[in-house]
Chain A
Amino acid sequence: MECKLELSVFRFDAKTDFLPYYKKHFITIDRSLSVNDLLARIKEEDGSFDYPKGEIAALKINTKALFSDVSIDGLIHSFGKSLTLEPLNTKRVIKDMIINTDDFYQRFDLLDAFVDGKDRPLYEHYIIYHYASSVLDMLEDYQGDALFAFAYDMIQKHPERKREILEVVANEHTGIFLHVRLCKKIYPCGADVEKKITALKNDVMKLRAFANPLVEKFSHHIDLL
């Protein structure tokens, strides 16, 4: 079934633009199609528009981070027919919906020594969690929620590396205890990743031997209960 969408689309070219702007599009499209198809339709209307493609292509719609293979029907159900399309991070835009993801891949290097190179695609599947976090905007070196979810998976896969992985994510200045819940910033809800992060924090607290002052402080709180 077709429907007419009112879109506000973020536009910015880092090579030529000084400020970003939002361009209006009114597009009639089949609800059963995906956001990828919607982006392609925008490109048909305006050839200068660009967006990420491929399996981990993602963006934000009405402030929620999502992969662009999600169905339009679900989006309409959650947000209605007026949608604002933005890149995952407006500060890192190269062109329209395409961003520079160097910071995301740099975080992978923190665990690189403890995992296989072939684990990297799994990390990439958490990209929306990295850019959905408000903490990233306020703390440049924040390890990121994608890394924490990935660390949890890697502990299940490489249990012999558990201690080293936990030591990385327990960092008191950039690590897991600075995570804030982001279920509502992900579409569909990111509750599964929240569960992984909670389990990972519990693991850090159980392995207190390497404790930093922050883990010590939390341990003290728990002991008082």
Chain B
Amino acid sequence: MKNYFLFESLVEREKTAPLITAARKLIEFLNIDAIPFKGAKADFGSELMGLDTLKFLEHYAYNLSLAASQKRDILCIEQSSFICHSQAKEMVLSDDKLRFEIAERLEKHSLSLNLDVNVLSLEQLLLEEIGVEKLSTLVKHPFQNFQAALFLGSNACRAKKYRKEELFTQLLDLIQLKSITYESTYESDGFEVYTASAVLAKKLASKTMLDMFDNAADFVLISDARSFIMFDYYQKELEKTAGREIGLSVLSLAELLLLAFGETHKKSIGLDQHKVAITLI
């Protein structure tokens, strides 16, 4: 197995800390060589590309080059950081002019542009490196009595270019979790407009959550840290916006797998840090 940097500087880290706690625990549990990516610049989400594309590329090329210089691939535990690193790598690699411009910018940080690094999603690592066979032996508490709302969001199209959506569903099959069909799977979670209009962001997010609720989801499974912020951190505010109670727990892939693998200590997998209590255990 290869060596990885675990990308921990998630978007709005104070609101996404539970995702990191769970990822660390899962990595320890599976004995993966993924050390914290110290010195990495924090994820700002693809929203940054809409404001200043060059700055976006410089920001993520910095992380890619830093990891490459230490000969470790980057392991991303959620979609936002995964897409940004993957997209920045692709854009810089495919354009000579951009490559020159970004290399010059990185020189100012005393760093040489080096894109000889892989960016992996958690599901890729689990399925391609550890494998279904081994993972299935670890499942102690299958989720056959639950159905989740798998939320992929409006960024899924972008993510699809770099990873297969089926990998996520393959892992759900492994733990026998069913997922509901609902119209808002690919809608916006509202995060992308939160700075411009918190009211609009909450309207978008609450509409999506009500769709999940009305389609009998037991909980929400997110693939992106931004969705976690909107659906867990702001859920009480979404209820006010919607004028209805929602009360849906929100889980990340790492948290869900740890529960399936029999880890029920809430604190050690970050569940105690959620705004909406996890009542599945």
Contacts and interface: CB of A to CB of B under 8 A. Distances in A.
Interface residues of B, number: 29
B59 interface: yes
B281 to A, nearest CB: 33
Interface in A115-148: 134-135, 138-139
Interface string B146-187: 000000001111100000000000000000000000010011
Nearest to B53: A202
Nearest to A62: B183
A137 B21 CA distance: 38
A214 B52 contact: no
B193 A202 contact: no
Contacts of B59: 225
Contact of B50 (A138, A183, A202, A214): A202
A145 B193 CA distance: 14
A178 B195 contact: no
Given A181-B157, A205-B51, A134 B188 contact: yes
A157 interface: no
A23 interface: no
B51 A183 contact: no
B193 A177 contact: yes
A21 interface: no
Interface in A154-184: 172, 177-184
B192 A181 contact: yes
Contacts of A179: 193
Contact of A134 (B41, B158, B195, B204): B204
Contacts of A221: 51, 195
Contacts of A172: 196
B204 A138 contact: yes
Given A183-B158, A218-B51, A139 B200 contact: yes
B193 A198 contact: no
Contact of B55 (A138, A177, A225): A225
Given A138-B200, A138-B204, A180-B193, A189 B55 contact: no
B154 A184 contact: yes
Contacts of A134: 187-188, 204, 207
A191 interface: yes
A183 B157 contact: yes
Contact of A63 (B44, B158, B183, B195): B183
A185 interface: yes
Given A134-B187, A181-B154, A184-B186, A202 B51 contact: yes
A201 interface: yes
Contacts of A205: 51-52
B188 A214 contact: no
> Majority SS of interface residues in chain B?
helix
B53 A198 contact: yes
A222 interface: yes
A214 B188 CA distance: 21
Given A138-B200, A178-B193, A198 B49 contact: yes
Given A198-B49, A205-B52, A181 B196 contact: no
Contacts of A139: 197, 200
B156 A184 contact: yes
B53 A138 contact: no
A222 B49 contact: no
Nearest to B161: A191
Contacts of A138: 200, 203-204, 207
Nearest to A63: B183
Contacts of B183: 63
A180 B204 contact: yes
Interface in B102-137: none
Interface in A193-225: 197-199, 201-202, 205, 214, 217-218, 221-222, 225
Nearest to B189: A180
A26 B51 CA distance: 48
Interface of B: 41, 44, 48-53, 55, 59, 154-158, 183, 186-188, 190, 192-193, 195-197, 200, 203-204, 207
28 contacts: A134-B204, A135-B193, A135-B200, A135-B204, A139-B197, A178-B193, A180-B188, A180-B190, A180-B192, A180-B193, A180-B204, A181-B158, A181-B192, A182-B154, A183-B154, A183-B157, A184-B154, A184-B186, A198-B50, A198-B53, A202-B50, A202-B51, A202-B52, A205-B51, A214-B196, A221-B51, A221-B195, A222-B55
Give 5 nearest A-B pairs by CB, closest first: A183-B157, A184-B186, A180-B188, A181-B154, A177-B196
Interface of A: 63, 134-135, 138-139, 172, 177-185, 189, 191, 197-199, 201-202, 205, 214, 217-218, 221-222, 225
